Amino acid sequence: MTREETAMELDADETTEVSPMTLGIYYRRAFPHSVYYKWLNYNGAAPTTDFTHREFSFTINDGVYVRYQSFRDASEFQRELVRLSPSKIDIGAIFTAAPKHAKSLQPGVFRPVAKELVFDIDMTDYDDVRTCCQGGAICAKCWKFMVIAMHVLDRALREDFGFSHIMWVYSGRRGVHCWVCDERARQLDDAARKAVAGYLSIVRGGAEKGKKVNLSQRHAHHPHVVRSMEIIEEYFEQVLLEDQEILLTRERWNKVLAALPDEELRNQIDTQWSKRPDKPSVEKWSEMVDIVEKRASKRGAKFALSTFERDIMLQYAYPRLDENVTTHLNHLLKSPFCIHPKTGRVCTPIGQDQFDTFDPFAAPTLACVLKELGSDTAVGGKSQDISQAAASLTGYVDVFEKFVALLPVSSNSTSHQSLDF
């Protein structure tokens, strides 16, 4: 099957119905306002500064970016959301004062003090390793990179850092977002967030760099590396060798061989495969590993040869983070349940037990939701319960409700906290 047959650009014709009018209907009739407010108010009985001092950013009127929006309660938030009908909602930090008053405050008084620890993984960061699609296109084959990323990061955040309130969200187009909502995580300052991001970042370097994983002997046996490799090993043959065929052509196998720290071996393998270039990647991989292992077993061989197989597996399959999103307290991230402006798809939560089964192409579109709302979707129509109005959203709202129900009530602390590694 060709790339054109398997890839789906997701910039579908359905985006034509994304307008202030249709978004207004969605925000009034289908957006899960009650549980959304409980999430960002952290189950407080009355509005807390977790919500009232939270920055929201709305994109309205074909690209006008309105920052430092804030709301005194759930009713005001819902009313303004329906009135402005933003094409995009971004969530920012909790500040020392209500963000809507930012311009009237003295410099230094208005500053961010808390926010969920967030991660952004975008498929375009895998363009140098995926062969099925490029750019904005995704397909079932390359979506498995997101599956691996969710497994690896979720386990690390829970087992290495002790976090337990972790929500994964489909970005609506070609990636996933992670929201770590433990209070300890929300109180981390920029330095601690940078430390967490650094701990979780293994693949470094642009497309022009041949070897992007460089772990010391000490780090080779780190529990996070060992655990990540166990996860990657489950998927590597199917995803990288069978689906992506990373060794199918000379151009592809030379990208892999570029990370091999032995020129003689690189030339040997290149010559061998050039004689039989039609061999499937699974066979080539096995041959390469055998050749490298034999050389690595000799006395005086480079340490990097003994770790070559592991490093390539990490380089091709380990999660690729946008560290800037994680490290800065005042960085905004797209909200769950908003509509992706380019695809018309709802940004839906992904349950911890759904990593392997979640289908981005089954995520509801605004067109689908509007159709389910029925004929009484005119502005001013009466609100319905979401379970009756938009069946395609109910499963995702259920995931969201179960997650929010387990969040402890916030202590409303504004003190900063650091993590010890």
Catalytic residue flag (residue 128): no
206-to-12, 128, 171, 320 alpha-carbon distances in Å: 30, 9, 23, 11
CA neighbours closer than 13 Å in the CB half-sphere of residue 126: 32
- Dihedral through CA 269, CA 271, CA 274, CA 278, nearest 10? -30
Report d(CA 398, CA 349) in Å as an integer: 9
Instruction: Mark whether 120 is an active-site residue.
Output: yes
Residue 107's CB is within 10 A of a number of other CB atoms, namely 6
Task: State the residue for tokens 């498995």.
Answer: 144
Of 55, 90, 154, 243, the catalytic one is: 55
CB 66 within 8 A of CB 81: no
Which structure tokens are listed for 300? 């005086």
Q: How many residues appear in the chain?
A: 421
Question: What's the burial of 239, exposed, middle or buried (CB within 10 Å: 0-12/13-18/19+)?
Answer: buried
- How far apart are the C-alpha atoms of 390 and 115, rounded to whole Å? 31
Q: Annotated catalytic residue: which of 50, 90, 122, 154?
A: 122
Question: Which residues make Cβ contacts (< 8 Å) with residue 335, sequence separation at least 6?
Answer: 56, 89, 90, 91, 347
CA 230 – CA 6 distance, rounded (Å) = 29
Residue type at 361? F
Q: What is the separation, in whole angstroms, between the first and last Cα of the chain? A: 47
The packing angle between helices 223-236 and 140-159, to 10°, is 160
Specify whether 55 is catalytic: yes
Catalytic entry in 50, 120, 182, 323: 120
Active site residues: 55, 120, 122
